[in-house]
Structure 1
């Protein structure tokens, strides 16, 4: 089976090269189809040949049939067609001039030419050489004419790119992608442009508190759903990008469509299915998602919900998530895996908070990374982070304080999936680390 390594999505790694077998639906056995009936075309052709001697068909077309015609010119009649090329106009004009002049030669000149047939062989050789030179000049003119026309038709020199459209030069001290110049999978030439585009695209997916549009739901129900989706991501060993995208799609769908509380789990499992198709190399099948819902829903209901979600979101599900920005910004400061994991813990805990729904992913990722850097005593927000994220410390301060209060609140025993997940040694037990002192945090925010 496929097995994902801990490097997550920077470069997806798998162990083994064998394709996984797709699980069969429960209660069904594979059926073997019978051999297909192939028409006996060869036998039919043989029977047609044995009917009688072959009769040679006449080459003339049958009465009323259209005449055969090639797309341009029949090759057999090509010698009868005169094709005028653009570069031969001058040479043709010269030849016509020569013919006209030779036709107007008087009869006396022709008689004189006949008398001069006794010219010495040296003069004859000289005339032949001169004629050959004229032919070479004509050939050169034929070649030069198309070249002159091409030069005349060539477009003017390309205009210079305006200053505001030129690609921004990255200072050498802020260049974090040149080290991957040999790795085409890392896209070092376009990495910054890609994240700048994702940051601009965030403006299209800004949300607000939508819970007043849901008469049957409340923030606690949403938190329970997110906690359950974290367990699904762990059990299926899905990428973290899949979890973040599923949460984003759930929030966008709930902000547009009222949902009854009994159908909330169906919405969550369906968004996880869609996100798996978008992010995973080998996504779980529909029956797996029905199984984790304890068969509370039918297959037709899940497929119908998938159609409803995609149509409601206009099939635009490439939503920028905080997890992608977090990995990018952690690379700017060469953060270790323990620091990155701590920032991921803060970011994942924020998924359950309704007041964090309206925050942009890039801003949330920056705030979580700043908290992790201060907790690990690695300094504050550096100039290289300001260059790549576009945020200053003053932009992050309000959100950092919100995160601190969220983590300072007593844990809810019913919503322990994320804390248990990051308390494992695989994740460096970052959930067990104490919070940084508020005075140290405020000092870092004031810089």
Structure 2
């Protein structure tokens, strides 16, 4: 079994890093794909019947086409058609009026309708779909911009759940308000910001070497922050807290999570099995077993799909977002806003345009709301990395991740020019 981590926080109360060992390209652990493997079971056509969207429309159309008509309706309709036909026959067989008499008859009919308060209107032609999207809401006075329906092309595939995608992410944005974090380090007498950053740096290496999903890493860091915001923790149990948070997050997100002995091993046997299980119960009870916390990585993948960004641009946005995990000053930012800002900065760095109406629609953020956070993210990229915490930068400097860590950040003046164009 390969060495699971290069960074060790083995001794209680001491934080140290062993010299990093550069691994070969072939030996680098690559994150496993969450999608189904190739050669898996083929999709059954019967599954498409589970989606009622298209099927419901067909049923409605069939009902309309085969609607039964009662006898009374048939009689009344037949009577109307007969009287109408008789009138047309009388007109066709009767003598033709002169043009002057016809004009006078039309004028008299208009006068009668005006006297009776009846005004004939020309039937309005139905609007095209483009006109409906760009229509003006007169009650509010706002013009709705056109946007692409990114889920429409996936409606036929029931495995993608495209029909529920908007509802899922709307629900996640609502839950964000329940998990707002505030500064908690002043309540921790034995911890500081640097200790938290070292712990997160170690957790990044654990995620990479155990080949866990990135969602697991983000959730584990969230669990650590929310626990520290409510409970005092000593430095000798900080690594135990990080390992146990990873265990809980892996049970929540992974198909095959690592076992308890694996997390005891990566802590260099500094803790006992009973201590880890006890910490697990403490975390769950403190958070009241509500651990479905929205993380920025889930929003980032959704927004990148809405922007139709390629994998390299998404990886650059992931790199920026993962750098924020170590930074204490980003813990109170909402996950959806952080993901949107990371994607916009990545689009600017790759010169792929700016914020589109589609992104504004699906994220719910106008571009001006992201400017302040974008500036802070760009400054984070420009800052000199700490020698003790290089796990994220080293990870994304590999060619597996397109070496996005080597892409130079945007010049501050150039970024300000881009932001002025957006306003």
Whole-angstrom distance in 1 between the partners of 2:151 and 2:30 = 23
Measured after TM superposition, the shift of residue 299 of structure 1 is: 0.1
Between 1:205-214 and 1:434-443, the stretch displaced more is 434-443
Q: CA deviation at 1:193?
A: 1.1
- Following superposition, the deviation at residue 13 of structure 1 comes to 3.9
Report how many residues are paired.
292
Deviations 1:132-151 (A, max 9, x none): xxxxxxxxxxxxxxxxxxxx
CA contact (8 A) 1:276 1:284 kept: yes
Q: TM-score with structure 2 length normalisation? A: 0.66
Judged with a 3 Å threshold, the aligned counterparts in structure 2 of structure 1 residues 12 and 206 are, in CA distance, closer, same or farther, namely: farther
Partners in 2 of 1:282 and 1:15 — Cα distance? 20
Within 5 Å, give how 1:252-263 maps onto structure 2.
252-263=226-237
Tell me if structure 2 keeps the 8 A contact 1:5–1:13: no
- Residue 380 of structure 1 and its aligned partner are, at CA, apart by 1.1
Deviation at 1:6, TM superposition (A): 6.0
Give 2:246's aligned residue.
272
CA contact (8 A) 2:220 2:245 kept: yes
Tell me the residue number matched to 1:195.
169
Q: For the Cα contact (< 8 Å) 1:7–1:13, is it kept in 2?
A: no
Partner of 1:299: 273
Q: CA deviation at 1:12?
A: 4.8
* Matched-pair contact (CA < 8 Å) for 2:147–2:361: no
CA offsets, 1:78-131, max 9 Å, x none?
A: xxxxxxxxxxxxxxxxxxxxxxxxxxxxxxxxxxxxxxxxxxxxxxxxxxxxxx
**Higher RCO, Cα 8 Å, sep 6+:** 2
CA distance in 2, matches of 1:250, 1:316: 14
Does 2:403 correspond to 1:441?
no
What secondary structure does 1:295 align onto?
coil
Q: How do 1:409-428 and structure 2 match up within 5 A?
A: 409-428=383-402
- How is 1:267-346 mapped onto 2 (pairs within 5 angstroms)? 267-346=241-320
| 2:360 is the alignment partner of 1:386 | yes
Deviation at 1:398, TM superposition (A): 0.8
1:352-406 CA-to-partner distances (Å, cap 9, x unmatched) read: 0000000000000011001100000001111111100010111101111111111
Bigger Rg, which one: 1
TM-superposed deviation, 1:409: 1.0
Q: Tell me if the contact between 1:174 and 1:387 (Cα under 8 Å) persists in the aligned partners.
A: no
Q: Any idea what SS the aligned residue of 1:351 has?
A: coil
Identify the residue that residue 202 of structure 2 maps to in structure 1: 228
Give me the whole-angstrom Cα distance separating, in 1, the residues matched to 2:38 and 2:206. Answer: 20
Call closer, same or farther: CA 1:204–1:12 in 2, change over 3 Å: farther
TM-score computed with the length of structure 1 as normaliser: 0.63
- List runs of 5+ in structure 1 lacking aligned partners: 18-169
Q: Deviations over 1:132-177 (max 9, x none)?
A: xxxxxxxxxxxxxxxxxxxxxxxxxxxxxxxxxxxxxx99742100
The equivalent position to 1:358 in structure 2, one of 332, 337, 341, is 332
In structure 2, C-alpha distance between the alignment counterparts of 1:15 and 1:236, rounded to whole Å: 24
The aligned counterpart of 2:211 is 237
Q: Gaps (5+ residues) in structure 2?
A: 2-28, 42-143
CA RMSD, 1 decimal: 2.0
CA deviations over 1:194-247 (Å, ceiling 9, x no partner): 101101110000001110111000010000000000000011000000000000
Paired residues of 1:367 and 1:399 also in contact (CA < 8 A): yes
Aligned-pair distance for 1:7? Answer: 7.4
1:363–1:396 Cα contact (<8 Å) kept:
yes
1:439 shift after superposition: 2.5
Partner residue of 2:81? none
